[in-house]
A = this chain, B = another copy of it.
Amino acid sequence: MSDESAIMAANAAFYAAFAAGDFAALAALWADGDGISCIHPGWPALVGRAAVIGSWRDILSNPARPQIVCAEPHAIVDRDHGHVVCIEVVDGTPLAAANHFARIGGVWRMVHHQSSAIAQLASPHDDADGHSLH
């Protein structure tokens, strides 16, 4: 399996674990230790295993959590690290996401996740495409 395929598989496993509500599987996908971070939509950054994994425990324990479908994944790999950019369709709303992985002991483990809203409406500060200028 190519590195790109392996990292795409790890990315798919992340969304499969979320869809199944499988906290143990999702927690195992993340790297051990405190060198991990996560920025959920609308949240400030979480750093370290307790904060990051704790946030996923809370989210997965919520029966009203959304359904998330990963669309248009694109993998970029460089030596022992790589990331997948994708669209997360969250209850029908598209978010822009990136999932970063490190190869640790031959296994691709998640080290950073960030998902953020895509602007749907233009505002006075947006460009002609409706995107914020930063």
Residues of A within 8 A of B (CB): 35-37, 39-45, 47, 58-59, 62, 64-66, 68, 74, 76-81, 83, 85-87, 90, 94, 96, 98, 100, 102, 111-112, 114-119, 126-127, 130-134
Contact = CB atoms under 8 A, between A and B. Distances in A.
Contacts of A58: 127
A43 to B, nearest CB: 5
Contacts of A94: 44
Contacts of A127: 58
A45 B133 contact: no
Nearest to A79: B80
Number of copies of this kind of chain in the complex: 2
B81 A118 contact: no
A81 B102 contact: yes
A48 to B, nearest CB: 9
A130 B76 CA distance: 33
A78 B41 CA distance: 25
B40 A134 contact: yes
B118 A116 contact: no
